[in-house]
Structure 1
Amino acid sequence: MPFYLKPLLPNTPDLGAWPPLRVYTNNTGAQWLSVADLVYLEGEANYTWLHWANGRRLLVTTTLKRVEAQLPPAYFLRLHRRYVVNRQFIEQAKLTFGKPMVHLVGGMHLPISRRRWMVLRSQFTLR
């Protein structure tokens, strides 16, 4: 039984109006990147992978918690201790082989922790 996200409230600010994310890399130094194209974040110890809609991946030397704090909470959902996802790219959430999973628009599947499944389920609706 798949679940789909409820639409955002009408008074929610546009994601394009959110300030860009400042990212440092060794090659180019500081960059300002739009969060509207950010699909999901993946944490690995004290590093975070940023996955963009165009397929670009960027590794930053910041914890997932610190990067998540810079993002708009109305758009970005914490799924798991390792994953934060942009709700605009979520296609559906369902139990796959008894485990809760989120299916993204690009074909990616990300796990949802058991504790967060019940909380996130309230934000989803049946279609």
Structure 2
Amino acid sequence: MLLNALIVDDEEYSRKSLYYLIQEHCPEVRVEGIAKSVAEARELIRETHFDLTFLDIAMPKESGFELLPDLQERGIMVIFTTAYDQYALKALKASAVDYLLKPTDIEELQQAVKKAHDWVKLRSESQPAEPGFEDESKITLSHTNGFDVVDTSDIVYIEADSNYSIFHLSNNENIVISKPLKEFEEMLTARNFLRIHKSVIINFRYVKAYSHKNGLQVILNNDITLPVSRRRSNEFQERAKSYFKS
């Protein structure tokens, strides 16, 4: 499976160097476009199909992060290429395939490309009915190191953090995804999930109690307390009655 790639970097040497490294050492990648700015990259992705972008971060006028909405809208994967390591956490939240420091190491480049290739292969084989789903009981969560396939029954709750969503799992692990909570609300609420607040989606599987003693609150099995907004409280109570009755 050949991946069509775009290189975005304001430095000519970096663009050429990465291009030749890919040509020489990554036969599964075909560079279809090279851009020296975010604005130029936007033009290219409107005209050409790309699977993958090698994206610099610190660039004049607009940083690489400002291109992310355009890439995510088209399902284009991202491998960040930068001379600075202070952006690693933000790249993690952006669900990048990988984060490569300049000068680019050949082995690390090949490993990053393999992650991207594996990611595309899984998406192709699973053919989800909704973005992110493999089947009725699993969801694929992409992040900087690739992706995790998670049983929806293991999701305790999902918490909004600006335009990111934090998945809290039953094994106490957290996964940060660069998508707003609304996208997962649309995917999950037909099952055992409900958005009880602008910043929280819960799984009824883990609900232990509901209280209005100190404001409207849900208490989970792990004793975490989460707020319920007043406008969602009636729907929560109706759904809770239906869920626990069944």
TM-score (norm 1): 0.77
Among candidates 151, 170, 174, match of residue 53 of structure 1: 170
Counterpart Cα distance in 1 of 2:172 and 2:220: 13
Amino acid at match of 1:25: H
Residue 106, structure 1, aligned to residue 195, structure 2: no
RCO (CA 8 Å, sep 6+): is it higher in 1 or 2? 1
Residue 115, structure 1, aligned to residue 231, structure 2: yes
Structure 2 gap ranges (5+): 1-134, 242-246
Among candidates 131, 140, 143, match of residue 22 of structure 1: 140
Which secondary structure state, in structure 2, belongs to the residue aligned with residue 102 of structure 1?
strand
Count of aligned residue pairs for this structure pair: 107
Counterpart Cα distance in 1 of 2:137 and 2:186: 13
Match of 1:40 in 2: 157
Amino acid at match of 1:35: T
Match of 2:195 in 1: 78
Q: Which is helix-richer, 1 or 2? A: 2
Identity of aligned residues (%): 25
Displacement of 1:124 in angstroms is 4.0
Which secondary structure state, in structure 1, belongs to the residue aligned with residue 197 of structure 2?
coil
The superposition leaves residues 55-103 of structure 1 with CA deviations (integer Å, 9 ceiling, x where unpaired) of 0011000110112222252300110000000001001111122x11000
Change (3 A) 1:46 1:95: same
Structure 1 gap ranges (5+): 1-16
The alignment yields a C-alpha RMSD, in angstroms, of 1.6
Change (3 A) 1:68 1:123: closer
State the 4+ residue runs in structure 1 displaced beyond 6 angstroms. Answer: none
Which of 1 and 2 has greater Rg? 2
Amino acid at match of 2:143: T
